[in-house]
């Protein structure tokens, strides 16, 4: 195999590895964002559960104050009843007291319902706190792993690019330009092998002359169909398949 082909294949291998590492690096930021979003969702769930529990407690407190207010009114009406000497006023105050007692009964019924709701809300709040804590803990661990992975990948890509730069210095500028152009225009491999007299890039059948020239390894040979640089190695089968 021509030394230039060997260097081009190594360069192409570095290109592929750099591309894979860059793709891996590109996935890190979205993965980190996704993890952070899940942790925020867990925290939001906890805050919502906490707010609901607080709302129920506030309503319980309001009802307690209203009950106390009604009891105070009953005491006031009772004193006024004791002081009045008018029968109709006495009855009116009695009616007010009964209304207050009915209101207290209804308020206390509401309090019982709220007590059950408050107990359930506290359970939900505790569960939401547990979920949020676990989500945060998981996120912290995964983000730390991503950070370590990012460092490793950046180190790896620096090494690959350094190696790539050294390989570029070895290659003839015209050959390098040809390779870079093919990589850009064709995508994927710019240097391909031949198998059964077929180009490994475009998979078109090659003229016998190109196959022989490639096998002789006297100079760089390009596919007449796609322009990719061809190479031959002894493990390749040149027999034409019908």
Are 147 and 219 in the same domain?
no
Are 137 and 110 in the same domain?
yes
Indicate which CATH number applies to the domain containing 123. Answer: 1.10.287.1490
**Per-block mean pLDDT, blocks of 10 residues, the chain (242 long):** 90 93 96 95 95 96 96 95 91 95 96 95 96 95 96 95 90 93 89 90 90 86 92 70 48
Residue 181 lies in a domain: no
Residue 242 lies in a domain: no
Residue 180 lies in a domain: no
Domain boundary among 171, 201, 221: 171
Are 95 and 35 in the same domain?
yes
Residue 177 lies in a domain: no
**So what's the pLDDT on residue 87?**
92
Q: Is the pTM of this model over 0.85?
A: no
**So what's the pLDDT on residue 38?**
93
By residue range, what is the domain housing residue 123?
3-171
**So what's the pLDDT on residue 242?**
47
**So what's the pLDDT on residue 216?**
86
Are 21 and 122 in the same domain?
yes
Are 88 and 141 in the same domain?
yes
Are 197 and 154 in the same domain?
no
Quick check: 12 and 164 in contact, CB under 8 A? no
Contacts from 172-177 at CB under 8 Å and sequence distance 24+?
Answer: 172/4, 175/4, 175/8, 175/220
């Amino acid at each position: 195999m021509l030394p230039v082909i060997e260097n081009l294949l190594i360069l192409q291998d570095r290109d592929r590895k750099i591309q894979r590492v860059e793709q891996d690096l590109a996935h890190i930021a979205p993965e980190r964002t996704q993890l952070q979003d899940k942790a925020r969702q867990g925290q939001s769930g906890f805050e919502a559960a906490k707010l609901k529990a607080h709302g129920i407690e506030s309503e319980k407190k309001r009802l307690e104050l209203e009950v106390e207010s009604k009891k105070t009114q009953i005491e006031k009406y009772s004193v006024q009843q004791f002081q009045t000497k008018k029968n109709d006023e006495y009855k009116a105050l009695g009616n007010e007291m009964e209304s207050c007692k009915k209101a207290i009964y209804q308020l206390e019924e509401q309090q019982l319902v709220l007590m059950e709701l408050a107990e359930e809300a506290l359970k939900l709040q505790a569960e939401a706190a547990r979920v949020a804590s676990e989500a945060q803990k998981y996120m912290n661990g995964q983000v730390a792993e991503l950070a370590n992975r990012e460092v490793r990948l950046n180190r790896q890509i620096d090494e690959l690019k350094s190696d790539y730069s050294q390989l570029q210095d070895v290659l003839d500028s015209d050959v390098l330009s040809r390779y870079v152009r093919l990589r850009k225009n064709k995508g994927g491999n710019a240097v391909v092998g031949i198998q059964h007299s077929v180009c490994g890039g475009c998979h078109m059948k090659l003229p016998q002359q190109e196959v022989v020239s490639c096998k002789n390894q006297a100079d760089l040979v390009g596919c007449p169909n796609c322009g990719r640089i061809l190479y031959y190695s002894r493990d390749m089968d040149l027999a034409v398949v019908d």
